[in-house]
Structure 1
Amino acid sequence: MGISRPCFHIDGQTEYLRFQGHAQNLVGPARRRILDVSNQEIESVELEDGTPLKYEVSDPVPNFGSKLTVKLPYMSAPGNLLKIKVKYSTDPSASALQWLDPNQTSGKGHPYLFSQCQPIHARSILPCQDTPAVKFTYDAQIKAPEEFTVLMSAIRDDNCTLSSESKKTYFNQPVPIPSYLVALAVGVLEYRTLGPRTKVWSEKEEIEQSAWEFAETENYLQAAERLCGPYEWRQYDLLVLPPSFPYGGMENPCLTFVTPTLLAGDRSQADVIVHEIMHSWTGNLITNRNFEHFWLNEGFTVFLERKVAASLIKDQQEAKKSRDFHSLLGLQELSETALAMSVTADGASRKFYELTLVSNSAHLNKPILSGWETNEASQSQRRRRSSLVNHLGPTNPLTQLVLDLQGVHPDDSFSRVPYEKGSLFLRYIEDLVGGPGVHPDDAFSSVPYEKGSLFLRYLEDLVGGPVEFDEFLRSYLHHFKMQSIDTDQFKNYFLDYFGNNSSIEQIDWQSWLYTAGMPPIIPNYDTSMTSACTSLVNHVLTEEQTRFVYTDVSDFMPHQIINFLQQLLERDPLPLGKLRAVGDVYKLKNHKNTEILYRWLRLCARSKDESALRDILSFVNRQGRMKYVRPIYRDLYAWEEVREQAIQNFKDNEQYMMHVTVYTLKKDLHLD
């Protein structure tokens, strides 16, 4: 039996960058209990009545920490639980915590603290069973200076206990969660109410902009409930964190963490909020048993995100076009992540496969871009593609949906493959068993997200479309609610549910789940929204720059501009004159939409525009979202003339980054 209902009592000491406190855990019949710890100083372990218990902390294993083995005095009777209390303090280098100096915040007046426990960093702040296979409810009491607001991934009691210049805040999480969803933030914060169960929190400097940007959150939540059933977590709040937060969002129950890079001023990044809302069902209520099955979290969530976002569009044809457009963007990102070619010692390149669009259908059907053969490829193409994804390739096992993580650090397992490949698989099955429905829907990269989403989209198409598949989804969500599961459980439930549908006999489970590289089948996507982007790309590549006019992009949605820039990134670098004309005429420089600015700066790096280097370095220094900083640092590393400057810039700023960002960037810059 695992840990049940821990209770955390934490005194946050900002001047010492550490926590002091104790964790109370209820344990079942056993003669010993093993907990995960990392860089914690264990002061004592005792029973509820104060009886001291013998314990032992093993030698640390690099990246994974130590075992805290507690010897129990007797075995309790079945059904009875012992309460043990571990008194401890954290180390200032705890990998789950980001301590920010006042000058790293917007207000510049107070320090700030936030946590990021996924995948295995909860052990650095709490003695716990740090695995998604174990779920627990929890209570917490957090003591902090009076001027600070404390938030957690739980229901917050507004009645705080005040004492001399400090206050104690109480929290309760009644729904079982895995350890990686324990989250904490402490700062001088304000909030605005968005709806009857939704708030947004941030420093006061961003609060009004945040409230406007995320004003539709309650509508997104209601749309999610129409597809997935009742929201189980009572409160859905957003916390806009300082820029060093390494992700777009983190689905902490009751309190989603989001990056300030979403504050685009046009609500165009709302899909990130929909994504995190969908985690309230897939990932939080139903959780991968371990991170070898991470696609069950992220592939499902991307798949549901796109269905829900499309459901908000009244015109069904436009809804399908939008869903397919965003799926194609994800497929494009997956292709960049999962596909890489190798350059041999003699400079020859190996073939790999690309996505090609044929008659409104997407297929994996031939070697890379025209001219991309060993004898025809330019040196610049070889350099670009070989540096595109420096550690993943078509045979890399980390591009499988179901991973083998023996000997692999969990931080290295996250990518976009489970997200998109899994989502695509579900779409395929939806179509297969009934045709179109009448309703719409080595490190962190696109692999778990996009490959997982593609898998699910494939399944959706396979079984008959959204109508049939939505019924299955609701059944699946109800059946496995509050459990941690693996891929075999999903597969068996799917096969049992659709047992009378002969179409499922077509599914090549081995290729989808256990084969590296791109998915074996791509759904029949509507490409009309991407066609306009492709036409503009061809215009830029073939016409003189004097023929560029702003009306080329004036009718584009933000995501179409993103797609236009992404397609340019997949071509040879632009000549400097043409690059600068694109930036000037299409008003890309200093764009407020971070997704657009990020791709523009990558184009500048690819073209080796030294005049843009200051802007590029400023961009990676002022925010720590790994989706942005990792590709840009890889581009800078490939730019030999500025490589050392990029490495020094990283070293100068790594103190301001979270552990996972530093860990992965060191790999990208070959510093590990």
Structure 2
Amino acid sequence: MCVPPATIDLSTQANIDQVETTHLHFNWIVDFENQNLHGSVVLDLTTLVDNVDKVVLDTSYLYIKSVSLGKENLKFRLAERYASLGSALTIDLPAVEKAGTNFQLKIDYATTEKCTAVQFLKPEQTLGGKHPYLFSQSEPIHGRAMIPCQDSPSVKVTYSASVTSHLPVVMSALQTGIDEDVDAGNGLKTYHFSQKTTIPSYLIAIAVGNLVGKEIGPRSTVWCEPEMIEQAAWEFAETESFIATGEALLTPYEWGRYDLLVLPPSFPYGGMENPCLTFVTPTLLAGDRSAVNVIAHEISHSWMGNLVTTNAWKHYWLNEGWTVFIERKILGRLNGEPTRQFEALSGLKALQESVDLFGKDSLKTVLNPDLRNGADPDDFFSKVPYEKGFNFLYHIEKVVGGPSIFEPYMKAYVEHFASTSISTQDWKDFLFDYMEKKHGQQMVEKLNTIDFDTWINKPGMPPVDPKFDTTLADACFDLAKRWDSARNTDNLSSFSAKDIENFSAGQKIVFLEKLTDTEPLPHHFIEKMDQLYNFTPNHNADLRLRWQQLCLMTSYEPIYPEVVKFVTEQGRMKFVRPLYRLLHQAKNGAQLAVDTYLQHKSFYHPIAAQLIEKDIGLVKSMY
């Protein structure tokens, strides 16, 4: 067993205080028959201290064949697994006497069937049904299941890759060429990639399948299976406007391309901000562009998270809180400030639900959580870093005097920390330093009125009421209040389909969210609402979630088949986890939840599967 060293990042076992990786090069073969990636990785390393005699890397369920330094094979040993952090790979070196010495290690290895970073899909699990598919998902600490590496966001590297496959390959890098072995006649091609901007290991990503691309902007292509290419291209046609607005708010977009990959339905997230190639869920294909706000979020990661990165998962809010803040700035610029306020209201509701789920005193609701003793960062995944982080920044913006003062600071923040990894203390120090230099001691005094310790280190909801503008939400709140009040008279005659005919998809969702704050509605209310508003057949995934939540909270059994259908046709954790939990809690729903999950377990991404099992009691969570 290898316990993590006392470093800034408690989620790595690598000796990042002694050696630093600067570049990775992969030579991979995609093996669909054996469901693995095999080949080698070459690590460019630099010693940080004198007298380094070993390199310790993170791994998880990898098969390590050999390690070499030039022509010399090196001794190595793989430790027993330590909690969620995997097995440390210790490589013995000839003593390196001087700090600043550069050297290369080559590791021949393969992923295994227990790999949590790569999901292999059979042809029948894809949309086209004819070809297999694979995709990776490494955030937060699953990169070590695909690559023996220093799997810490504090280490940022460039990378290159040569990947051999009989199906098209895309990666979180720019493609530099394709070689085809015509003489072999086996249909194999080798795809070459290069990522010249430094990134942490969790952003190294790959997907392989029957992929086609279509241009949707001057620097954007959407990739997916051919069966959905036209729908995807239409849905994401406004991508360039999001990029350009982000540039106007911050700094020039420096990644070259902003492509999108629409993944098969089992992808567990709404989007993953892999550089040059954002991975997105097909649940965004609502047919009316009502769900594309996720693209504004992932584009914002190009600056917040990808360019300026947290140096440990304890400070994850620096990635996500900032990204939500910029996402809503973009939406406000494009659609007006009331839209930003409306989105913030909805986010506050989601934050309250996370706090209610964990408990207001739970350490999982702390902005800077404690990740000691091998804690799994996945167990802390919730809306807390996103929405509590957003509210923190929103509050600071108000205290310092509004956007005219705060927006120049945002740009300076990105310029100052670009291509680095930072902590919450780094962020706070720069905030005070910038505000004092630009606006004097009076601004520092304003900042000192903020209770930073409570915001950052204490559990529960934000310590201040954000007082968001409710202009776009008032009609939703009023309609929800009418339905809630109607239970007193049991008279539903005043409701009609016209109630929501002018509502946007977002307003319908907020209406349903507000009703989940009330006592569960009687079953005949639910039935009448569906007759009038036609919620059950709606294709907007967020609306389906809220409607099904409302029904499950009152154990409305006619919705159970729709819930089963929804949680088995897609694997996005935002949807499947709360619905599995509520179905498990509903009357006559517990066994149905367990049976449904067990029957479809192989459909879900390994990360999602692990968490769903905890949600419905199949596995006990340690935290």
The 8 Å contact of residues 286 and 539 in structure 2, kept in 1 or not, is answered as yes
What's the CA shift for 1:525? 1.7
Question: TM-score when scaled to structure 2?
Answer: 0.92
The 8 Å contact of residues 313 and 377 in structure 2, kept in 1 or not, is answered as no
Percent identity over the alignment is: 40
* CA deviation vs aligned residue, 1:385-427 (integer Å, no higher than 9, x gap): xxxx2xx11100111111111135334444xxxxxxxxxxxxx
The 8 Å contact of residues 26 and 84 in structure 1, kept in 2 or not, is answered as yes
Query: For residue 616 of structure 1, what is the amino acid of its counterpart?
Result: V
Correspondence 1:517-536 to 2 at 5 A: 517-536=460-479
1:612 equivalent in structure 2: 559
Cα RMSD, aligned residues only: 1.3
What secondary structure does 2:40 align onto? strand
Residue in structure 1 matching 2:538, options 591, 598, 601: 591
1:162 correspondence with 2:128 = no
Residue in structure 1 matching 2:203, options 181, 184, 199: 181
Q: Matched residues in 2 for 1:584 and 1:98: separation?
A: 40
* CA deviation vs aligned residue, 1:352-404 (integer Å, no higher than 9, x gap): xxxxxxxxxxxxxxxxxxxxxxxxxxxxxxxxxxxxx2xx1110011111111
1:150 equivalent in structure 2: 169
The 8 Å contact of residues 223 and 308 in structure 1, kept in 2 or not, is answered as yes
Correspondence 1:204-243 to 2 at 5 A: 204-243=226-265
1:303 equivalent in structure 2: 325
Q: Matched residues in 1 for 2:367 and 2:67: separation?
A: 41
1:397 equivalent in structure 2: 363
Residue in structure 2 matching 1:664, options 594, 611, 616: 611
2:85 equivalent in structure 1: 64
Q: Matched residues in 1 for 2:340 and 2:608: separation?
A: 31
Query: For residue 137 of structure 2, what is the amino acid of its counterpart?
Result: Q
1:638 equivalent in structure 2: 585
Q: Matched residues in 1 for 2:518 and 2:578: separation?
A: 16
The 8 Å contact of residues 222 and 261 in structure 2, kept in 1 or not, is answered as yes
1:507 correspondence with 2:529 = no
Correspondence 1:36-51 to 2 at 5 A: 36-48=58-70, 50-51=71-72
1:335 equivalent in structure 2: 352
What secondary structure does 1:73 align onto? strand
What secondary structure does 2:588 align onto? helix
1:516 equivalent in structure 2: 459
What's the CA shift for 1:507? 1.1
The 8 Å contact of residues 371 and 377 in structure 2, kept in 1 or not, is answered as no
What's the CA shift for 1:28? 2.1
* CA deviation vs aligned residue, 1:470-520 (integer Å, no higher than 9, x gap): 111111100011111000000111111122212112011111110100011
* CA deviation vs aligned residue, 1:113-170 (integer Å, no higher than 9, x gap): 001001111111111001111110001111111xx11011111124333353211100
Q: Matched residues in 2 for 1:286 and 1:190: separation?
A: 31
Structure 2, unmatched stretches of 5+, are 1-18
Correspondence 1:357-372 to 2 at 5 A: none
Correspondence 1:235-314 to 2 at 5 A: 235-313=257-335
Q: Matched residues in 2 for 1:475 and 1:303: separation?
A: 15
What's the CA shift for 1:596? 0.8
Correspondence 1:339-418 to 2 at 5 A: 340=356, 389=357, 392-407=358-373, 409-414=375-380
Query: For residue 528 of structure 1, what is the amino acid of its counterpart?
Result: T
1:378 equivalent in structure 2: none
2:13 equivalent in structure 1: none
What's the CA shift for 1:337? 1.1
Q: Matched residues in 2 for 1:588 and 1:36: separation?
A: 47
Residue in structure 2 matching 1:83, options 99, 104, 111: 104
The 8 Å contact of residues 291 and 410 in structure 1, kept in 2 or not, is answered as no
Q: Matched residues in 1 for 2:423 and 2:495: separation?
A: 52
The 8 Å contact of residues 401 and 512 in structure 1, kept in 2 or not, is answered as yes
What secondary structure does 1:31 align onto? strand
What secondary structure does 1:498 align onto? helix
Correspondence 1:463-612 to 2 at 5 A: 463-499=400-436, 500=440, 501=443, 502-543=445-486, 544-612=491-559
What's the CA shift for 1:77? 5.3
Query: For residue 18 of structure 1, what is the amino acid of its counterpart?
Result: N
What's the CA shift for 1:83? 1.3
What's the CA shift for 1:546? 3.0
* CA deviation vs aligned residue, 1:298-317 (integer Å, no higher than 9, x gap): 0000001001111113xxxx
Correspondence 1:132-151 to 2 at 5 A: 132-145=153-166, 148-151=167-170
What secondary structure does 1:35 align onto? strand
Residue in structure 1 matching 2:396, options 440, 451, 459: 459
Q: Matched residues in 1 for 2:373 and 2:73: separation?
A: 36
* CA deviation vs aligned residue, 1:622-669 (integer Å, no higher than 9, x gap): 111111111111111111422112111111111111111111111111
Q: Matched residues in 2 for 1:617 and 1:174: separation?
A: 44
What's the CA shift for 1:542? 2.9
595-604 or 513-522, which deviates more: 595-604
Query: For residue 216 of structure 1, what is the amino acid of its counterpart?
Result: E
The 8 Å contact of residues 23 and 45 in structure 2, kept in 1 or not, is answered as no
Q: Matched residues in 2 for 1:162 and 1:602: separation?
A: 53
What's the CA shift for 1:80? 4.2
The 8 Å contact of residues 76 and 82 in structure 1, kept in 2 or not, is answered as no
Question: TM-score when scaled to structure 1?
Answer: 0.85
The number of residues matched between the two structures is 584
2:217 equivalent in structure 1: 195
2:20 equivalent in structure 1: 2
The 8 Å contact of residues 28 and 76 in structure 1, kept in 2 or not, is answered as no
The 8 Å contact of residues 100 and 111 in structure 1, kept in 2 or not, is answered as yes
